[in-house]
Amino acid sequence: MARKKIALIGSGMIGGTLAHLAAKKELGDIVLFDIAEGMPQGKALDLSQCGPVEGFDANITGTNDYADIAGADVIIVTAGVPRKPGMSRDDLLGINLKVMKSVGEGIKANAPDAFVICITNPLDAMVWALREFSGLPHNKVVGMAGVLDSARFATFLAWEFGVSVKDVNAFVLGGHGDTMVPVLSYSTISGIPVGDLAKIKGVDAGRLDEIVKRTRSGGGEIVGLLKTGSAYYAPATSAIAMAEAYLGDQKRILPCAAYVDGKYGLDGLYVGVPAVIGADGIEDVVEIKLSDEEKSNLKVSVDAVEELLEACKGLDGSL
Ligand code: TXD
């Protein structure tokens, strides 16, 4: 059986980390693509030289030519620009929308059978646009945010309760951004609902609220500390978990920005929901019961995503 091929569109901070993780785990051969000339080639060379030390077997190459992603099994997209001081959200949207157009066309022409994981922000709108521009089936295009947001939530819960992070199963729904919905009622520690353990351990509701707020602004907290960029280790490892679920037909239920049409009362848009990832890509979306408050929080989040989609349609007439 031929080795799998992983194409990384965007070879910046997350792209480089993705390549390292994918190589270490020997998920397949890796192609780093970027518009910056020399940079993906340089990173590929540097990463290749980790092989003898770390003992992994993967061919890692860098390119500026979409033809080199041909036949990719998995594509992870981080291409785009980050928001810079003075740039409005709409400015960012306009620039990254154009990037999604070129990436979508590159995928359509060269690797239409791939499972595509989008990471570029604003995530819920970019994954939708990438699907539109690539023309791939909805089950083969997904956004990464929920795995990361739940990992942040789980980290903060583990710290608060003084337990191993391995035992925390934290649950986040909705769009990636300030309106995301960390769902405490579905978050457990070794199967014990967080609310119950909070009572046992004397953690009050106000403290849990603070953890939810910190989760919502988890990305911003890191940007504030790094000053020159955003998080990349945890985003990369989260996307790799999704890629592994697909490549290994694992049927994992992971929170992802998946296409939802019908469930949760939604009418064809990408938003964070628990989704089953297996060999067919997104094989199912799990519709869980929500309290009235969670429902209304999800609505706020979905409204924010819809607003972004309208803005995208205004910026590109083909959408
Ligand atoms: O949870 C999530 N989804 C996220 C999203 C968590 C963290 C960061 N998130 C977003 O990922 C972030 O807001 C960015 O939109 C992406 C990528 O973040 P990264 O930190 O890797 O950004 P870099 O280092 O700026 O890398 C982006 C690369 C850079 O090398 C550019 O030259 C390249 O993208 N780029 C392109 N590549 C291909 N094609 C085009 N058109 C292009 N334009 C820029």
145 close to ligand 1 (CB < 6 Angstrom): yes
Residue 256: CB atoms within 10 Å: 29
Check if 226 has its Cβ closer than 6 Å to any atom of ligand 1. Answer: no
Distance CA 53, CA 47 (A): 11
Residue 66 CB–ligand 1 contact under 6 Å: no
* 288 Cβ contact list (under 8 Å, min separation 6): 186, 274
How do residues 101-142 score in pLDDT, each as one tens digit?
Answer: 999 999 999 999 999 999 999 999 999 999 999 999 999 999
Task: State the complex-level ipTM.
Answer: 0.99
Nearest to 18 by CA among 117, 100, 92: 117
Task: Look at ligand 1, atom 13, and give the residue with the nearest C-alpha.
Answer: 121
277-298, pLDDT tens digit by residue?
A: 999 999 999 999 988 988 898 8
Ligand 1, residues 41, 66, 75, 81: which to mutate, most atoms within 8 A of Cβ?
Answer: 81
For residue 1, the model assigns a pLDDT of 77
Q: Residue whose CA is closest, atom 26 of ligand 1?
A: 12
* Cα-to-centroid distance, 78 and ligand 1 (Å): 4
**The pTM is what?**
0.97
106 lines ligand 1 (CB under 6 A): no
